[in-house]
Structure 1
Amino acid sequence: MDTVLVTGSAGGVGARTVDALADAGREVVAVDRRTPLSDERRDGVDYAAADLTDYGETRQVIGAAAPDAVVHLAAIPHPEDHAGSRVFANNVESAYNVFDAAGAAGARIAWASSESLYGTVFADEDWLPDRLPIDEATPTEPEDPYGLSKVVGEEVAAAAARRHGVPVVSLRLSWVTYPGDERRREARETFDPATADPSGNCWSYVDVRDAVSAIEAAIDPETDIEGHEAVLIVAAENFLGRDTAATIEAVRGTLPADCDLDGDESVFDCTKAERLLGWEPEHSWRDDEANADENG
């Protein structure tokens, strides 16, 4: 039976990943800065506390678990509530420590990179790429410490794959949303293109259930990955229910000269994830809202 170690296990994506892996019969080691109280622990899951910016602690907790796979989700998730230097240092140091320790253990690795590495989400200026949709070949041009930490993290991931000969998948996640989360509905119902602020990710998102299924596919021993691969993990459509290109043009006053978007489809192209991981998004805001209306 495979053993999977999950960092950031107390977070929204982390907790659901732990549950999904345990439900699938995996041995799971859940790692965060603190272990949960006894009544908050899931039966059959081992818990460990570690400061992942400390190489010795990281190497010790991963070595003791001897995992077949490591899922690295621990990070400061944006640059808005912390000093930029802290965001960058925390995310890069923890990525290096986890990837090197996991590689030394011979573990497959999947980790949460981000769409922010393109420079979209936290840019000071009104940013658009030279072409849409965005894919893995689109240049990464971050200005902020969070996006930059993900660019560096992917380079560290590639180095770990080369050094240790293990497969590493960088999952470029969009804004992760959750069933019952009203933020998408509120944004959609109050949206006015005449007054709306530009959206750094052009109103893209990914349902947490699809994020977890991508993680499971990335660490599946049957998934044929060699070296390091980066893949976008994004819902198929924007969460506004509007024509994507027309909405971008209405809000920003312009579109890239090279724009090939159809209807409300996302500005992020997930073809590579489908090809390498066999992954496609299965959940939509429309389904969640239909269910909420039926139960409401």
Structure 2
Amino acid sequence: MGKKFDKILVTGAAGRLGNFVVPLLTELGYRVTGTDQVPYHPDSANAKAHVPFVRADLTNLGDCMRALTISEADAVVSLGAIPGNSELQPPYAKQYDLMSGETGARFSQRMDEDLTMRVNTMGTYTLMDAIRRLGKATRVVHASSFFVLGLGFRLSGDPYLPVSLPMDEKTPLEPEDTYSLSKVLGEEILHAFSRAYGIETVAMRLLGVYYHDLEGSRRQHKFGITVPANPDPAKGYPNNSTYQYADARDIARFVALALEADLVSKFEPYFVATDTKYKETTAEVIRKRWQLLDKPGFVDAIPESQGLISIAKAERELGYKPAHSWRTDPDKDNVIVE
């Protein structure tokens, strides 16, 4: 059976994830055009493969329409975004302190403080509006984040406590910080365009993207760990991390599946992960790290070392099967064991 789509426009194609997604789609026979604010790095996979490129600002309607027109795209993979908060005001500075383990940590301002909201929200809207205006592309696969749940910065100081485990696509969304909110709004924009214009949209809620070929990512992501105990049970809740990750190679495979699947409805969100990082069972991690989740129906709800966030929907509806777990990957090139 032939593919549903032929020509694909990938936004954020000059970024790290784009250099995994574009090569796989090309290998599968799609005619791919990349777009980004900056050209491909000369040493990148996309540059070496001479993947067609259109320079564009996602917040500019004319740029988006030009990229769609030149690529003749009948589907879009939307990866372009700001990957974190850009604010530096006191509520955010406190969160940076918690992340760094230092009091009064200071970060240089490299971006406008409204950049995350402006690019992630208006960039998504402008891209979808361009797709709607031209009327050719009929499916969009969009990079969202597990932070939509509320697992990002807890600016209020109140813990994020899920209503049940494992968390899944039915779990209520309770974002507080700008990045998390921008991803929720991005999903709402997709959903609105699906309702109004029938454009099929998929939101990939990515968990901790891991790049096996990037030394910085290898230092950041450690596998086979024993999760440290939390000495303060009153703070025993997941925040910023569930110790899950998504290998970029698995994300690329998910994108390919999402492009060709028969979707249950016009808009579908999916959590995308590869595995957990710890060697213990999740029940053991809950008891010593996330004590506020240690209660009947929670601690016993997740078998073995499966994560707090379930990928069962992606497995069931799309046939997604992670292939690059540190536990089973035969080449072992992404394994870092403490």
TM-score by length of 1: 0.89
**Which residue, out of 139, 163, 167, partners 1:108?**
139
1:74 to 80, 83, 95: 80
Asked whether 1:2 is paired with 2:17, we answer: no
- The percent of aligned pairs where both chains have the same amino acid is 31
2:19 to 4, 15, 19: 15
| Alignment partner, residue 221 of structure 2 | 184
Mean Cα deviation higher: 99-108 or 67-76: 99-108
Kindly indicate whether residue 60 of structure 2 is the aligned counterpart of residue 65 of structure 1: no
Q: State the alpha-carbon separation in 1 of the partners of residues 303 and 32 from structure 2.
A: 41
Q: Map Cα deviations across residues 60-89 of structure 1 (whole Å, 9 max, x no partner).
A: 211232201100000001115755532111
- More displaced 10-residue stretch of structure 1: 201-210 or 121-130: 121-130
Tell me the residue number matched to 1:88. Answer: 117
Consecutive unaligned residues of structure 1, counting only runs of 5 or more, are none
> Do residues 255 (structure 1) and 255 (structure 2) align?
no
Aligned length: 293
> In the alignment, is the contact (CA less than 8 A) between 1:122 and 1:200 conserved in 2?
yes
The reply on whether 1:228 has 2:267 as its aligned counterpart is yes
Offset at 1:225? 4.9
Q: Deviations over 1:103-129 (max 9, x none)?
A: 432331101011000001322433221
Taking the aligned partners of 2:113 and 2:282, their CA distance within structure 1 comes to: 32
- Partner of residue 309, structure 2: 268
- Alignment-derived partner of residue 99 in structure 1: 128
SS in 2 for 1:30: strand
Cα contact 1:84–1:145 (8 A) shared by 2: no
The aligned counterpart of 2:254 is 214
Q: Distance between the aligned counterparts of 2:33 and 2:230, measured in 1?
A: 49
Does the 8 Å contact 1:167/1:225 carry over to 2?
A: no
For residues 216-261 of structure 1, give each alpha carbon's deviation from its aligned partner in whole angstroms, at most 9, with x where no partner exists. 11112x53454111111112x4201122233133123321643111
Q: Give me the CA root mean square deviation.
A: 2.8
Q: What secondary structure does 2:82 align onto?
A: coil
Aligned-partner Cα distance in 2 for 1:111–1:193:
36
Q: Secondary structure at the match of 1:161?
A: helix
Call closer, same or farther: CA 1:211–1:39 in 2, change over 3 Å: closer
**Letter of the aligned partner of 1:102 in structure 2?**
I
Q: Does 2:193 match 1:156? A: no
The question of whether the paired residues in 2 share the 8 Å contact of 1:106 and 1:164 is answered with: no
Alignment of 1:118-157 (within 5 A): 118-124=149-155, 125=157, 126-157=159-190
Aligned to 1:173: 206
Deviation readout 1:189-233 (Å, 9 max, x if unpaired): 6x421469954332111111111111111112x534541111111
When structure 1 is superposed on structure 2, of 66-75 and 253-262 the one drifting more is: 253-262
CA contact (8 A) 2:190 2:267 kept: yes
1:277 aligns with 2:318: yes
Using structure 2 for the length normalisation, give the TM-score. Answer: 0.78
- Greater share of helix: 1
| More divergent stretch after superposition (194-203 vs 145-154) | 194-203
Contact 1:84 1:146 in 2 (8 A): no
